[in-house]
Amino acid sequence: MKTPQLKTLGPIGLAFLAAALFGVATPASKVLLDNFPPFQLGGILYLGAALAVSPLVLRPGLKAPWHLGRKSGLCLLGSLTFGGILAPIFMLFGLQYASGGSVSMWLGLEGSATALFAFFFFREHLGWKAWVGIVLALISSIILGWAEGASGFHAAVLVLLACVCWGLDNNLSSIIDAATPAQVTFWKGLTAGAINLAIGLNLAPFAGSIETTAAGIAIGACAYGLSLVFYLIAEQQLGAARGQMIFASSTFVGLALSALLLHEGISPLQWAALALFVVALWLILHDKHEHEHEHEPMEHIHRHRHDDGHHDHEHADGTTGEGIEHEHWHRHEAKTHSHPHVSDLHHRH
């Protein structure tokens, strides 16, 4: 299955692009909460995500989630539950109690939650630079909690729960190798959107107009659909922890848009939190390690190049696809070598 050829963007560029798109979601959702209760809005946003990627996946060959194999199927189920249903609802409820700018910044805790899950449960290596970055991100979020006062701490707890759910989701989705990022986004958006909207309609009548519903779908298409596809491509090459720390730059976008669109001022404490996030991001981008390691034989699908030292297979037409990013099912033979690396799909040790 082919996906758009983003030739000029590597995984880091894709992660930043995903962050920019997702950064729009928080201030925009803050406005839409005047028209929709959280469950209804969460459903609309994720259905918009499914709609955005449907042209990429609604064709012969699309596998149902239960046909992806045990590992990828269970990971997708967990991703749907934690990242598609629970996390956005916690975030939207928290958004009712605090400013869009601070909620945008609190979402940076997702990077810390992702890193902790990655290290303790998903075999990702994190060096001292990464751990210092995690601590700085936590300190910056605590600073924002003080800035919002008592109601802000209630919101912070809800956003923290959302970040924990998204942190688990990020790690689960990073090891799904039997489906493309577009397919994962489609099933996640369709399932989570339908469930959240059904719950919302059961709790209250549909309150939105055609205009606000269309706006919610459009925001979901960009901030949850395209953003998630770009993020998953990047995450599979960078690892969940590093990919998410780059994605945390979405907080900058959300904070800036909250100031511009919602007329929320940026306080000195928020500027201090931004500075800490910048330092944390620099540290995580410079955290790599090198040692001799062994690759076991495996088969999967993901976006790759043939000049990265791990993909030396030939295509059916006899070509190797040298220097061009592409996506197809392929097999890796056993290999032992040494090079600087991060915890991507091929390095879980």
Residue 189, pLDDT score: 93
- The answer to whether residue 312 scores a pLDDT higher than 70 is no
Tell me: pLDDT of 115 over 60. yes
What pLDDT does 270 receive?
74
Mean pLDDT for 88-102 is: 82
Whether pTM > 0.85 for this model: the answer is no
pLDDT confidence of residue 327: 58
pLDDT surpasses 80 at 286: no
What is the average pLDDT across 141-166? 75
Q: What confidence category does residue 293 fall into, taking pLDDT thresholds of 50, 70 and 90?
A: very low
Share of the chain above pLDDT 90, in %: 22
Per-residue pLDDT, 191: 92
Encode pLDDT of 167-206 as tens digits: 999 889 888 877 888 888 998 999 999 999 999 999 999 9
Return the pLDDT at 348: 46
Confidence of residue 332 (pLDDT cuts 50, 70, 90): low
pLDDT in tens, 228-252: 999 888 887 777 777 777 887 777 7
pLDDT at 289 over 80: no
Mean pLDDT of the chain: 77
For residues 135-141, give the mean pLDDT.
78
pLDDT 10s digits, 260-284: 776 766 778 778 877 887 888 788 7
Q: 3-class secondary structure for the chain? A: CCCCCCCCCCHHHHHHHHHHHHHCHHHHHHHHCCCCCHHHHHHHHHHHHHHHHHHHHCCCCCCCHHHCCHHHHHHHHHHHHHHHHHHHHHHHHHHCCCCHHHHHHHCCHHHHHHHHHHHHHCCCCCCHHHHHHHHHHHHHHHHHHHHHHHHHHHHHHHHHHHHHHHHHHHHHHHCCCCCCHHHHHHHHHHHHHHHHHHHHHHHCCCCCCHHHHHHHHHHHHHHHHHHHHHHHHHHHHHCHHHHHHHHCCHHHHHHHHHHHHCCCCCCHHHHHHHHHHHHHHHHHHCCCEEEEEEECCEEEEEEECCCCCCCCCCCCCCCCCCCCCEEEEEEECCEEEEEEECCCCCCCC
Model pLDDT, residue 317: 55
Q: What is the pLDDT of residues 27-37, one digit of tens each?
A: 888 889 989 99
